[in-house]
């Protein structure tokens, strides 16, 4: 066998191995320190990692002191590093699904704004859900993970006002046909850079890692912690001027109990400030 032929066979085997490997995508990875911190472990598990950032390579090198070092550490284990990847437009950068897509502490560039960050969550979930591995009869589907501080995640809110100040990730995930199936404390073991797109550390307050799965993944529906996930939300508009919130809530919960779903409905009203206004009912369905 010639050396050229040997290299060609090795190249083909490499692509076969890559095709059969699990694939993980990391979005918005600051100075690549998160991907660098897990690169060795992922390689040992046979998981191929693709680390991405929004900045161009030139801009990234100029902004982050450890940019080149972390890039080399990731690539040393056979993983990929890609620049100028928009986490809200993954269709422009990828064509194959991932087993895991992770976006730690997503945040719009510049000063914080809840409305814009909610839009970021919405666009990310919509984009990422299209590149999530689909479940089949042989295996589970993929997962989307995002790390957020407790006040951003909203799942620990003690009332509607506190919930309304959160980024409502479970709501926007539900719009993308995703369920929150797990939530656990998150302790970063890497450099928390990229404070407002600068090479500065940011401080965390009670961070959690939220895991989402497709609502079509039946194995997740029956194995997840049902006390934490939001199944769906929707809005009902009725011409009646009567407030039927309690009746609607009771009816939905009777149906959910009848079908033994283990879920709970909560209904809130919107509108009806004037006599001529129709009432709208905001319905949230949770696991219990």
- If you average pLDDT over each of 118-132, 142-156, 211-225, which comes out highest? 118-132
CB 169 within 8 A of CB 233: no
Q: In whole angstroms, give the CA distance from residue 100 to residue 104.
A: 13
Q: Give me the pLDDT at residue 256, please.
A: 78
Q: Give me the pLDDT at residue 126, please.
A: 95
In this predicted structure, the answer to whether residue 39 has a pLDDT above a threshold of 50 is yes
What is the chain's mean pLDDT, rounded?
A: 80
SS3 259: coil
- Exposed, middle or buried: residue 204 (CB in 10 Å: 0-12, 13-18, 19+)? middle
In this predicted structure, the answer to whether residue 163 has a pLDDT above a threshold of 50 is yes
Q: Tell me, what DSSP letter sits at residue 98? A: B
Lowest-confidence range among 93-102, 192-201, 228-237? 228-237
- Exposed, middle or buried: residue 123 (CB in 10 Å: 0-12, 13-18, 19+)? middle
CB 204 within 8 A of CB 188: yes
pLDDT tens digits, one per residue of 19-33:
457 999 999 999 999
In this predicted structure, the answer to whether residue 7 has a pLDDT above a threshold of 90 is no
Q: Give me the pLDDT at residue 17, please.
A: 47
Q: Measure the CA angle with vertex 177, ends 123 and 50; round to 5°.
A: 55
Q: Give me the pLDDT at residue 5, please.
A: 62
SS3 115: helix
Average pLDDT over residues 125-154: 89
Q: Which residue has the tokens 């959910």?
A: 256
Q: In whole angstroms, give the CA distance from residue 214 to residue 253.
A: 23
Strand partners, 208: 148, 185
Cβ-Cβ contacts under 8 Å for 99 (sequence gap 6 or more): 22, 23, 24, 47, 133, 142, 143
């Amino acid at each position: 066998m010639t050396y050229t032929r040997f290299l060609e066979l090795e190249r083909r085997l490499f692509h076969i191995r890559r095709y059969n490997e699990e694939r993980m995508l990391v979005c918005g990875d600051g100075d690549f320190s998160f991907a660098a911190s897990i690169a060795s472990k992922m390689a040992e598990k046979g998981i191929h990692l693709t680390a991405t950032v929004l900045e161009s390579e030139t801009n990234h090198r100029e902004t982050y002191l450890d940019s080149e070092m972390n890039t080399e550490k990731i690539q040393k284990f056979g993983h990929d590093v890609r620049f100028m990847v928009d986490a809200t437009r993954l269709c422009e950068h990828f064509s194959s699904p991932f087993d895991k897509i992770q976006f730690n502490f997503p945040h719009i560039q510049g000063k914080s704004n809840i409305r814009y960050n909610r839009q970021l969550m919405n666009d990310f979930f919509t984009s990422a859900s299209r590149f999530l591995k689909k479940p089949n009869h042989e295996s589970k589907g993929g997962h989307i993970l995002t790390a957020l501080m407790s006040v951003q995640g909203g799942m620990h809110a003690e009332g509607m006002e506190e919930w309304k100040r959160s980024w409502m990730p479970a709501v926007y995930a539900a719009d993308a046909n995703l369920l929150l199936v797990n939530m656990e404390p998150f302790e970063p073991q890497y450099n928390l850079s990229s404070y407002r797109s600068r090479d500065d550390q940011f401080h965390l307050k009670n961070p959690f890692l939220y895991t989402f799965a497709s609502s079509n993944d039946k194995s997740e529906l029956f194995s997840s912690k049902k006390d934490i996930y939001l199944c769906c939300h929707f809005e009902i508009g009725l011409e009646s001027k009567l407030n039927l919130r309690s009746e609607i809530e009771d009816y939905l919960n009777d149906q959910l109990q009848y079908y033994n779903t283990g879920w709970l409905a909560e209904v809130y009203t919107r509108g009806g400030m004037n006599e001529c206004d129709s009432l709208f009912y905001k319905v949230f369905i949770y696991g219990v």
